[in-house]
Structure formats: structure tokens, C-alpha cells
Amino acid sequence: MSPSPSDADGEAVARVRTKGEPRFPDGPAADPAGSHFERRIRSFQPRRSRVTTGQADALQRLWSQWGLDIDGQRVLDLTELFGDDRPVVLEIGFGMGEATALMAAADPDTNVLAVDVHTPGQGNLLALAERSGLKNVRVANGDAIILLREMLVPDSLDGLRVYFPDPWPKKRHHKRRLIQPEFLTLAAARLRPGAIVHCATDWEPYAEQMLEVLTAHPDFENTRADGGFAPRPDFRPLTRFEGQGLDKGHVVNDLLFRRVPHDDQHE
């Protein structure tokens, strides 16, 4: 990459990108799947915020090694992606990545494929992974639905984490919520029997919907004998976002459901 121009005092001057020029030439693509797939109702809304110098540096240096774009044009070999055959957990929506990095550090025998569309968070998680010497984290950029449907094979995942997804609180937007029957059917096809789906939210109406659709889905069973919510497990760190919600009086609910055996395995 060519050096940044400098002013008379030797200070670096930000170069203005030309139209169509990628923001990070060696980093995540702006729209990795392009127009290859139908424009369905999205469960996420990209957030635009400033990328710090450290995050930009991590994206430029580490993306080719630990990042991948969800283009839907290939099937991933997870053993090749991580360099080993350890169990893989998919995390959808990791924010700034603090909890993801802590969980990956606490469980080095589990690989984490972390998906988000938030560029500062992608850079932050890469920087945290490098700083902590984590080898079991890969960062995916794009739509998790395309990843599940087009790029992962059946029974390839040992777990799914969805922490504090967008609650889409307005009733007319409820169709955008991620945890829906159709999504669970797709996820079930990629989860091994016994895999755990772990959701958490501080929006109580969404928690109730999650509990309802997970309980009704034939491919999952509640790990709670009482059929209700689970207490926050010790392995899920208390995030900064969660702490802010608790300070405001929000109630956080965790759900832990297990992928049941396939029909041909019940016998």
C-alpha cells in the first residue's frame, strides 16, 4: 500500500478515496455477496461508525489470514479454515468482539466463526485476537443466512450463539427478527445432534418470542426441565452493552436449546 501523503509539517494527511475504491483494499468487502442472491428482508441493519486507526490496521494486516467474506460462491472447509478439526461454534452478531474474544480464550479447544457486518467491530475483534494470541477465531463479513445456506455443509457446526440481536421493537418490523421458524430450520440443518443454540436478549418481548418459536420447533429441545429461560451461564461474559442495559433496569434472558437427533437416529 502506498504511503499516505504528508503536509508541510510532516503530519500524515488522509487520502480521499475515489468513487468505487474499496475502503480497505486488503480487508472486508463492502457487499461480498453482491447481486448473486435475492434481496430478502434483512434481519440486520449495517451501522456506520468511525473506524479507529488500530481497527483499520488490524483489518489491513489480519483480514487475509483470519477474515473471510460471505460471498456465497464456495463451500467452506472448516478444517482448512481453522487449521485443525476442533469443534466449530457459529456466533452471529458479535458487536465489538469483547465477549467473543473472552470466550475463545477461555475455551481454546473450540473454534469460533464470528459473523458481523460492523466494520469497526470486525477490526476490533481481529486486534483482540492478535493481542491475546488466539488461534481459534475467524471473522466473517456479511449475511449469516447466506453463510448457513450456501457455504456450510450439514452437521458442520457444534453450536450457535446469538447474543443481543436487533430486537426490531416496532410490530411492523417483527418480521425482521432473526429468530424465526425458517431460520431455525436452516440452522438445524447445519448443526450436529446435541449442538447447543444459545440466545440472549435484554428485550423481554423478543425473549418471549424466542422461547415460543424454539419450543415449538421439532429440531430443538429446551435444556431447562421447566421449559423456561436459563440463568446466564458462567461461560458467557457480562458485556459492556449488557451492563448498560442492566443499569437501566432491563431484564436479560438466556435461552439454551439442544439440537435433537435426526429422525433416522432416534431408533
Count CB atoms within 10 A of the CB of residue 134.
Answer: 18
Helix (H, G, I), strand (E, B) or coil at 68: strand
CA distance 23 to 40: 26
Contacts of 50 (CB under 8 A, 6+ apart): 120
Contacts of 210 (CB under 8 A, 6+ apart): 179, 199, 201, 253, 255
Residue 43: in which H helix or E strand, if any? none
Residue 198: in which H helix or E strand, if any? strand 191-201
What are the Cα distances from residue 56, in Å, to 23, 40, 50, 63, 66?
10, 30, 10, 10, 14
CA distance 203 to 181: 19
For the chain, give me the number of helices (H) and strands (E)? 9, 8
Read off the amino acid at residue 87. P
Q: Could you give the residue numbers annotated as active site? A: 166
Count Cβ neighbours within 10 Å for each residue of 173-210 and write b for 16 or more, e otherwise: eeebbbbbeebbebbbbbbbeebbbbbbbbbeebbebb
Please give the torsion angle defined by the CA atoms of residues 256, 109, 190 and 117, in that order, rounded to the nearest 10 degrees.
80
